Amino acid sequence: MIRVLGIETSCDETAASVVSLRDDGLPDILSNVVLSQIEEHAAFGGIVPEIAARAHVEALDGLVEAALADAGLSLGEVDAVAATAGPGLVGGLIVGLMTAKAIARAAGKPLLAVNHLEGHALTPRLTDRIAFPYLLLLVSGGHTQIVLVRGVGDYQRWATTIDDALGEAFDKTAKLLALPHPGGPSVERAAEAGDPARFAFPAPMKGAERPDFSFSGLKTAVRQAASAIAPLSDQDVADICASFQAAVTASLSDRVGRALARFRAEHPEVADPALVVAGGVAANLRIREALQALCATNGFTFIAPPHRLCGDNAAMIAWAGIERLRAGIAEDGMAAMPRSRWPLDSVSEPVVGHGRRGAKA
């Protein structure tokens, strides 16, 4: 039995959780508390790093206490403390990692410095216990990547965005249309009443040879369409949102479809291949439906962890800590420094401009 306290503070959610690996080998989320800072940032139409860091300072101690109380455990009863050390906004990372170091030192427990992206990447093993290797589509406010997950600590990035992250494209579209922050849910809600065929926005990179994503051209097309018909009625806004989502979905399907074919070609030994979607944008129903259909056509199992485990949370950080302990590759985190940039796959060449503009770039 291993129990790990996880701490996550890399963006605008403060989170703490206790996860255990039971003696029968099954994981158990004993507690999972998340405090979103959406209201603190709403007036600014985006995440303000200084405000985020201060809010983490104020909330974190209470959340750690709540996570332990919900789990019915004292600090002495956990085996290790795991904290996100990057990538993310450095102010928040400092708060989470330093708090975790203090707790670990005071309680005499080992500290695990976890890569936030590894937390997302290993979540389907917590929720669905799937086996390596599998494909991960990570779509959040700071990341848009397709990653081959080969094992704990063993990742190969197959595609990334060459400009904006997908969540960022949703957020910018919302801002342009004066819809409330965060943009993803606003755009999705507005799109429900819209006509996805009214505007023929380009599906970025569709058919392109290189495997990557790009969303800044789509953003420009949306801006031009909106200014051409301004002032916008509610119906105009709904139609733009629906057309935007249609373009995004077509682009994702094309890009992910290529990755599925590559996985098939490179891993013929995997009888039941799986695609996992993670990150905040994975909450989008249209996107989920499109990916589900794509997987069905290509004989892949589609896995979308429940929403509370798709967006940022600390259960995934605690779980990544457990996976590392179990794999015997946990390093002493006491010497770890917060890292605003920390690619999962240190081998693949960085792509020009990728992720730089995201909150978590």
* CB nearer to ligand KG4: pick between 119 and 133: 119
Give the shortest CB-45-to-ligand KG4 separation in angstroms. 12
CA angle, residues 277, 119, 245, in degrees to nearest 5: 30
Q: Interaction with ligand KG4 in 287-316: which residues (CB under 6 A)?
A: 311-312
* CB nearer to ligand KG4: pick between 109 and 116: 116
- Our finding on whether 182 is near ligand KG4 (CB under 6 A) is yes
* CB nearer to Zn ion: pick between 48 and 89: 89
Q: Return the CA Rg of the chain.
A: 20
Distance CA 241, CA 233 (A): 12
- Binding part of the chain for ligand KG4, among 24-32, 121-129, 165-173, 266-274 by CB under 6 A, reads 165-173
Q: Which residues have CB under 8 Å from 22's CB, separation 6+?
A: 1, 28
**Taking CB within 5 to 8 Å according to partner kind, which of Zn ion, ligand KG4, none is near residue 185?**
ligand KG4
- Our finding on whether 176 is near ligand KG4 (CB under 6 A) is no
Q: In one letter, which amino acid is 88?
A: G
Q: Which residues bind Zn ion (CB under 5 A)?
A: 140, 312
Could you give the dihedral angle defined by the CA atoms of residues 117, 314, 184 and 171, in that order, rounded to the nearest 10 degrees?
A: -60
Q: Helix (H, G, I), strand (E, B), or coil: what is residue 248?
A: helix
Distance CA 330, CA 75 (A): 20
What beta strand segments (E) does the chain contain? 2-8, 13-21, 27-36, 80-86, 111-115, 134-139, 144-151, 154-160, 274-278, 301-303
Query: Among residues 6, 27, 280, 333, which is the contact residue for ligand KG4, using CB under 6 A?
Result: 280
How many residues bind ligand KG4 (CB under 6 A)? The answer is 20
Query: Among residues 27, 124, 204, 279, which is the contact residue for ligand KG4, using CB under 6 A?
Result: 279
- Our finding on whether 53 is near ligand KG4 (CB under 6 A) is no
- Our finding on whether 171 is near ligand KG4 (CB under 6 A) is yes
Sort strands 134-139 and 13-21 into parallel, antiparallel or unpaired. unpaired
Distance CA 342, CA 330 (A): 17
* CB nearer to ligand KG4: pick between 170 and 263: 170
Tokens of 301: 């199992």
* CB nearer to ligand KG4: pick between 212 and 312: 312
Q: Which residues bind ligand KG4 (CB under 6 A)?
A: 11, 140-142, 167, 170-171, 182-185, 188, 279-281, 283-284, 311-312, 360
